[in-house]
Structure 1
């Protein structure tokens, strides 16, 4: 088991994981060049959980600057996905722990994430991992 930054060669497996999250998306596209752009960016991370050459999970972490807490940034998580055949094996928890360790190492003061309002199993998972769904209300506007 290893958690690492995604590479261009991971494109097809990442796409399959994303399709598990949003199976009906017709606009989704995963581009190797964008994976490489994220990999080179010191504040954005596309992380994958790999076992025996197979990607079983992924998460995107963005470290965001702000002025409210001095020099302390915050983290935003997106697209937290565990392969549907491997859920319940602590893969998601390991990804969250990895992200949290990194965020502590760069002195983040919080980590935020959004989850679709219909994904109740995911909400239960996030709650058990220490993320409160009652602190804030999330809003999105698609462009």
Structure 2
């Protein structure tokens, strides 16, 4: 049986993470595993910020899943902290194994441990399978999101 460990991502994990980001219908149009320089710069910024947690789920120390959790302080909701989950990905060879749910449940537990009042995430409107996945984990669709590309 394969053993999995959730741990903080390391700089040497960036290539594997980017390949997972690019291995999906949307990521294929915006992520480039052949040019890691911008990702390594971003990783260095993430690693310096204690409110950013980039994690991987590893098998034999090789990343097979990832997500980023951001702890957001704010004034709304009586000064509540929020956990923001981003970029949940599982390597195609490991999908359907429960790793995605394990990663998200880890992020929920970490948000709770850090005193967050809620956990939130966004998901592209085209990702209907992902929406069902998040709803199975207890998330409810509650907002309409907007983006402005710069």
Change in 2 beyond 3 A, CA 1:26/1:57: closer
Aligned residue in 1 for 2:108: 100
Q: Normalising by the residue count of structure 2, what TM-score does the alignment of the two structures yield?
A: 0.86
Unaligned runs of 5+ residues in structure 1 are: none
How far 1:26 sits from its partner (Å)? 5.8
Aligned residues: 142
Q: Which moved more, 1:67-76 or 1:120-129?
A: 67-76
Q: Out of 75, 81, 91, which is 1:83 matched to?
A: 91
CA-CA distance at 1:60 after TM superposition? 0.8
Q: For 1:3-55, what per-residue CA distance to the aligned partner results, in whole angstroms no more than 9, with x for missing partners?
A: 11111111110110111131122678553243233123110111111011321
12, 16, 21: which one aligns with 1:18:
21
Segments of structure 2 that go 5 or more residues without pairing to the other structure are none
2:78 to 70, 92, 95: 70
Distance 2:88 2:64 in 1: 11
CA drift at 1:71: 4.0
Report the CA distance shift for 1:26/1:48 in structure 2 as closer, same or farther (over 3 A): closer
TM-score (norm 1): 0.90
Contact 2:21 2:31 in 1 (8 A): no
